[in-house]
Structure 1
């Protein structure tokens, strides 16, 4: 599975010429980066997926005057939204750039809308392989997604070294699912049927998506991201065979290309987290247990997995992230504290590198004070 011998084309990115000339504020809190490398830390670093989001009143205030993708595509707004939770919650140990995984289908030439009642909608989905001809054969990532890089540079400076900045992208299979379904789905019958009807074309499509994902992540690192995460939100919709046959090769292409190109450029090593939501631990996660072959240093766990059981399966080479139930934030002070204490004990028993997080994103109706209390409890109960 190793891609160490493969030579990848270096994408045309402005950061290739400028990254060595950038000077950044000194990092004051490196717990996240240390835990991702598998080092033991005095407590678990904590951040929350979707922490820059609708539960924050200051986020809603900005969103009243700007559409969702306007926020993503305007670097100053994306920077401001990314900094909001860091400014509000000093106990957060990481920042993640405000953006969306569906900027990759946009870069490939697909229209993506964000509708208030439906969420993401792609009005012209891929129905048969002939529809792939509508996609760009080559993507100028600097031209199509340069706003992400600019937002990352602004944010890295705005953080002033308080915490590391995470860049991200969606995983190829998850993006393919959106592109074929035309949005979210309960059954995934349109996208999964591609894997049965058009296996060869599906692999080619996943490879094309993976190339754009890798180039996006490379650009994010050159722009200032200090760690990366790949979101495979629909990984759990696949059988273990489908995950290994279709999703995994594309995931490996992303991580191998990112690390290979950065090495060719002389850039320091960067850690990458994979969040394969819903995958079967005993089969699919086992395939991801060795960062030296997969390129993924940390695996994110959803709330349905037990860290002790996962650690027994994957061993101690890979760090883990997660995995408090997002609904715990509706449990009141006593409920939050009790559950954080219980789950933290499981993580300590599991051992190894651990980054505390929810098992999926924070939801919009969470009260800001409950989020703050959750962070306090993690700080208290995750101490080694």
Structure 2
């Protein structure tokens, strides 16, 4: 089947920054960019449940485009509307969203792994995401690049065992400590699916890839290196190899290992990612020093500053811009996803402040 031809890209700022190049200003986007803080998204949700939107390519395209249309000229990337938990769904687990994620039948012991299919046809199970990516690339008309993503294996593993969100991750960590080999085997199965999924997203038209290890910071440094890091390395290595072997563009890889700030320098040196996302508890100048120019950085304003009024937003963006400096290789973002109560006009102000304060001298 011939490759789809997409409209030419008009704004490649984020691609250049992801490669570490000096840019005229920092590109900017926010995690959960398409979502509940937007009234236009809430209108769609009144008519369709969450996973119906994910599974209907036209709806996923429409909501992905909503922030791009609202903030034309202010935002430098789009991210496909989906959810990290489509991977456990593809692996045979039921996931509901009411309002947070809920697994009616989580994995209680390693014996439960036998309930999952041995082989996952990723192309079949997640075709709706690939179709949404292709439709969205066409709908963007080259205005900004499109980011594809997956959850990191450790984060997905934790959801599959906890059955939803958790403050302690007691069940998931019990597995790591009580059943370390079985845990590694399940992590490997999840990783293999993530690799296929990410390659499929690039085939479909994704121009960058982000891996969300949202619960990386719940692991001690030892346990992060024992259980999470090997899966992250496998993803960066194998996806890159597959893209090359298939003659596809080797797109930039972004890793957001939230809370694993102890590992920033190590990941910059060893992980194979082009960009490391950092949360708001890291000083930007310290993050810069830790990575020694080996990777670009993304982040890192506290999302709750968006509730603090325009003066607070402007001051935080100014500080952040000064901390990351004018050397390029920085993608402005929040230190985690935007939350539902934010006024969209305050986010507009955030984007405008980034354009103002991150401009190269």
TM-score w.r.t. structure 1 length?
0.92
Residue 280 (1) aligns with residue 280 (2): no
Among candidates 25, 33, 39, match of residue 7 of structure 2: 25
Query: What is the aligned partner in structure 2 of residue 362 from structure 1?
Result: 338
Asked if structure 2 preserves the Cα contact closer than 8 Å seen for 1:259 and 1:295, the reply is no
Asked if structure 2 preserves the Cα contact closer than 8 Å seen for 1:122 and 1:183, the reply is yes
Query: What is the aligned partner in structure 2 of residue 54 from structure 1?
Result: 36
Query: What is the aligned partner in structure 2 of residue 380 from structure 1?
Result: 356
Q: Quote how far apart the aligned CAs of 1:174 are.
A: 0.1
Asked if structure 1 preserves the Cα contact closer than 8 Å seen for 2:261 and 2:278, the reply is no
Output one character per residue of 1:291-330: Cα deviation in whole Å (capped at 9) or x when no partner: xx52211000011111211222221111100001101111
Query: What is the aligned partner in structure 2 of residue 322 from structure 1?
Result: 299
Asked if structure 1 preserves the Cα contact closer than 8 Å seen for 2:26 and 2:328, the reply is no
Counterpart-to-counterpart distance in 1, 2:328 and 2:23: 10
Q: Quote how far apart the aligned CAs of 1:255 are.
A: 1.4
Among candidates 167, 170, 178, match of residue 189 of structure 1: 170
Output one character per residue of 1:63-110: Cα deviation in whole Å (capped at 9) or x when no partner: 101000000000000000000000000100000000000000000000
Residue 96 (1) aligns with residue 97 (2): no
Counterpart-to-counterpart distance in 2, 1:268 and 1:178: 32
Counterpart-to-counterpart distance in 2, 1:83 and 1:382: 25
Residue 345 (1) aligns with residue 284 (2): no
Output one character per residue of 1:312-363: Cα deviation in whole Å (capped at 9) or x when no partner: 22211111000011011111111111111111111117x4510000000000
Q: Quote how far apart the aligned CAs of 1:225 are.
A: 0.3
Equivalent residues in 2 for 1:1-384 (5 A)? 17-18=1-2, 21-90=3-72, 91-116=74-99, 119-281=100-262, 284-290=263-269, 293-348=270-325, 351-384=327-360
Asked if structure 2 preserves the Cα contact closer than 8 Å seen for 1:316 and 1:352, the reply is no
Counterpart-to-counterpart distance in 1, 2:316 and 2:286: 18
Query: What is the aligned partner in structure 2 of residue 8 from structure 1?
Result: none
Aligned-residue RMSD, C-alpha? 1.0
SS of corresponding position for 1:296: coil
Counterpart-to-counterpart distance in 1, 2:328 and 2:136: 30
Asked if structure 1 preserves the Cα contact closer than 8 Å seen for 2:202 and 2:248, the reply is no
Paired residues in the alignment total: 359
Counterpart-to-counterpart distance in 1, 2:18 and 2:291: 15
Asked if structure 1 preserves the Cα contact closer than 8 Å seen for 2:92 and 2:116, the reply is yes
Asked if structure 1 preserves the Cα contact closer than 8 Å seen for 2:23 and 2:328, the reply is no
Output one character per residue of 1:37-69: Cα deviation in whole Å (capped at 9) or x when no partner: 000101000000001000101000111010000
Counterpart-to-counterpart distance in 2, 1:37 and 1:71: 33
Q: Quote how far apart the aligned CAs of 1:368 are.
A: 1.0
Asked if structure 2 preserves the Cα contact closer than 8 Å seen for 1:340 and 1:374, the reply is yes
Following TM superposition, the consecutive aligned residue runs of length 4 or more in structure 1 with deviations greater than 2 angstroms are: none
Counterpart-to-counterpart distance in 2, 1:176 and 1:287: 23
Output one character per residue of 1:197-237: Cα deviation in whole Å (capped at 9) or x when no partner: 01101111001000111111100000000000000000000
Output one character per residue of 1:166-187: Cα deviation in whole Å (capped at 9) or x when no partner: 0000000000000010000001
Counterpart-to-counterpart distance in 2, 1:123 and 1:259: 35
Counterpart-to-counterpart distance in 2, 1:177 and 1:298: 24
SS of corresponding position for 2:47: coil
SS of corresponding position for 1:178: helix
Counterpart-to-counterpart distance in 2, 1:268 and 1:246: 29
Unaligned residue ranges in structure 2 (runs of 5+): none
Asked if structure 1 preserves the Cα contact closer than 8 Å seen for 2:90 and 2:126, the reply is yes
